Amino acid sequence: MANQNPVPTDEEALTGLAKETGYALKQAGLMAAVAESCTGGLVGHLITEIPGSSDWFLGSAGVYSYEAKERLLGVDGGVLLRDGAVNATVARQMAFGALREYDADVAVSITGVAGPGGTVEKPMGLVYLHLAARDGTDRAEDAVWSADRRGNKLLSAQCALEMLLSYAKDKAD
């Protein structure tokens, strides 16, 4: 995991990225879903700002609590109790849960510590993302952002959209 210090982007720039992602998903004939924890629905918000996003977007599960992760996406409660919600295993289970529950072609998840706060083991800005697809694709990303709460959420949303965009472009080729 690398410490990453990109300049946080703004919502307007992310809307442009969401449009590009949507175009690529539509061109590839893919339907996407999102499972969000630390971003609180930001990715779903950015996507649904785009007219016609229902052509390629099924929905976003905002699963902030342990109970929501477990009930709505099937995240293992034992893992949550033992390791907490901020780890690669939970991110993977969230992505596969969204893939299953939305019957999507591809899903991306985000869990992390937006801030303020954190611990030595799980510092502010730590985020785990995961992309899962019906074709068996199983990709993990993680980062430690160095922004404030809003910036960490924006950077995490950007990373999730970039993961979806990369997957869609690979499928369209």
In three-state secondary structure terms, 87 is coil
- Report how far residue 141's alpha carbon sits from residue 135's, in angstroms, rounded to the nearest whole number: 19
Assign 8 a pLDDT band (cuts: 50, 70, 90).
very low
Q: Which residues pair with 129 in a beta bridge?
A: 110, 141
Amino acid identity, residue 113? Answer: V
- Report how far residue 156's alpha carbon sits from residue 81's, in angstroms, rounded to the nearest whole number: 24
Could you report the per-residue pLDDT of 28-87, keeping only the tens digit for each?
A: 999 999 999 999 999 999 999 999 999 999 999 999 999 999 999 999 999 999 999 999
- Report how far residue 33's alpha carbon sits from residue 59's, in angstroms, rounded to the nearest whole number: 5
Amino acid identity, residue 163? Answer: M
Is pLDDT at 6 greater than 90 in this prediction? Answer: no
Is pLDDT at 142 greater than 80 in this prediction? Answer: yes
Question: What one-character DSSP code corresponds to residue 3?
Answer: B
CATH match for 11-170 among 1.10.10.60, 2.60.40.10, 3.40.50.300, 3.90.950.20: 3.90.950.20
What pLDDT is recorded for position 76?
A: 98
What pLDDT is recorded for position 172?
A: 86
- Report how far residue 96's alpha carbon sits from residue 50's, in angstroms, rounded to the nearest whole number: 25
Stretch 103-108: mean pLDDT: 98
Report in angstroms the alpha-carbon separations of 120 from 7, 107, 126: 23, 30, 11
- Report how far residue 57's alpha carbon sits from residue 43's, in angstroms, rounded to the nearest whole number: 11
The domain limits of the chain are 11-170
Reported pTM? 0.94
Report in angstroms the alpha-carbon separations of 65 from 32, 58, 72, 129: 23, 22, 11, 17
Is pLDDT at 4 greater than 90 in this prediction? Answer: no
